[in-house]
Amino acid sequence: MATVSATCLRFQPLFSQSNKSSQAAASLKPVSVGWAKNNGFPSLKASRFRVSCAAKPETVEKVIEIVRKQLALTPETELTNESKFAALGADSLDTVEIVMALEEEFDINVEEENSQNITTVREAADMIDKLVQEKAEGGS
């Protein structure tokens, strides 16, 4: 069974607004993907496909600041987008406290089911940007 999860997709034009659409169409090329084996669809049991977008740098920095504070990490501890809370010594209570601090800082509400899926700085930052955008659009 294959699982596909998508956080968000953003498309940006590769041409300036002054170009005509016919010029843009001419620059697009079809892309095809083939499988090495011709005996059907390959097994995706061990595969993982994830589409995500980078959160705003200021969101990531704020998340890193909050994680560092909540886990009492030294300034020398390297934190990146891919830093996993568990690898930094966080247990489930620490993760709940991180989520609560993020909710307070960004004035958002994180549903319990969403908070259970946050395991890295990137996941937290992507979720925050999504919730802040929804709130700005009047979604919640």
As annotated, the active-site residues are: 91
H helices of 35-91, in order, are 57-70
Task: Give strand pairing partners of 6.
Answer: 51
**What are φ and ψ of residue 139, in 5° steps?**
-75, -30
Stretch (H or E) spanning 57:
helix 57-70
Asked whether the CA dihedral 24, 26, 30, 31 is positive or negative, the reply is: negative
Contact yes or no for 67/83 (Cβ under 8 A): yes
H helices of the chain, in order, are 21-27, 57-70, 92-106, 112-115, 121-136
